[in-house]
Amino acid sequence: MTSRLLPVLASSAVLALGLAGCSSGSSADTTADSSDGISIVASTNVYGSIAEAVAGDAATVTSIIDSPDKDPHEYQADGQNQLSLSKAQIVIENGGGYDDFVDTMLSAAENSGATVLNVTDISGYDTEPAEGEFNEHLWYDFPTMQKLVDQLVTELSALDEGSASVFSANGEELKQQLATLESGEADIASAHQGAGVAITEPVPLYLLDAAGLANRTPDEFSEAIEEDTDVPPLVLNETLALFDDKSIDVLVYNEQTGGPQTDAVLEAAEKNGIPAVPVTETLPDGVDYVEWMTANLKAVSDALG
């Protein structure tokens, strides 16, 4: 599916103005100079967190979208992002139509020397499956994240051979943590294989599928919510009937987006005593990727009882 996420809304004039006013620094919202080590820019703080775990102190990581308060569906790129990308040695993008603004801005920055890690390409998944639409929310897919870790270790080691052993050790530690997350999915599958689940958007589907849960939401419903279009009345009624019929055990919804139809399914879940688990597309403040996903798995497991 071609997502509506992360459009480039900044004009070249705004970018030029932003470039003139930017300063360097070490926070997620600023751009580091060469003395701060390898420069990495990630489209979201999800990939920024993974990059930080692998690179450690050898790199400065800039996450363009760095807070759940920044709605990815309404994000506006700015001049500071352009400056960050102009200096980046490694760029991490999700791909799959999710964050096309990265390629647009990187081209405008004329930074042809940056190594671009496209997670969709790294995943090896078919982006045009015979049935259904490609789910671009790959950070909920732990095997793909392990592949990303391996790629990061390779690229970082090429840029800083002296720290290669550190990158390798960091990568192995993170992959062990990812394996623990996969074990958490397996535990849910063991206890609740085939349990019905409803979603508002396909954001968490990789995790839910790996946990052995059956998505019973009509595709037309979740696709309409993701594309920010009206859900056909018959499809909405079919979705709400899942709650009234107790055909599902849990609702997992994207709390970063909303609207009348999302409110309707949340109300249906509450009315029928079906637990609702919120998920997000970006990291909550104060946690890293592994902590975030651990909490997501626990929330789903707890909701299933």
Among 131, 153, 180, residue at a domain's last position: 180
CATH code at 70? 3.40.50.1980
Tokens of 84: 């960050």
Among 180, 207, 222, residue at a domain's last position: 180
- Give the pLDDT confidence score for residue 71 in this predicted structure: 60
- Give the pLDDT confidence score for residue 72 in this predicted structure: 60
Q: CA 182, 188, 192, 196 torsion: positive or negative? A: negative
Q: 224 or 32: which carries more pLDDT confidence? A: 224
Tokens of 220: 């037309």
Sheet of 59-65: strands edge to edge? 59-65, 38-44, 90-93, 115-118
Give the bridge partners for 63, in sequence order.
42
d(CA 297, CA 211): 9
Tokens of 238: 């079919």
pLDDT tens per residue across span 143-169: 999 999 999 999 999 999 999 999 999
pLDDT band at 21 (very low <50, low <70, confident <90, very high): very low
Domain assignment of residue 73, given as a range: 12-180
Same domain, 171 and 243: no
Same domain, 77 and 174: yes
Cβ atoms < 10 Å from Cβ of 33: 11
The count of structural domains within the chain is 2
Establish if 63 belongs to a structural domain: yes
Q: Does residue 61 register a pLDDT over 80?
A: yes
Same domain, 156 and 216: no
Establish if 1 belongs to a structural domain: no
Establish if 5 belongs to a structural domain: no
pTM value > 0.85: yes
Among 145, 180, 215, residue at a domain's last position: 180
| 3-class state of residue 282 by DSSP | coil
Same domain, 17 and 155: yes
- Give the pLDDT confidence score for residue 165 in this predicted structure: 98
Same domain, 136 and 55: yes
Same domain, 109 and 174: yes
Same domain, 54 and 80: yes
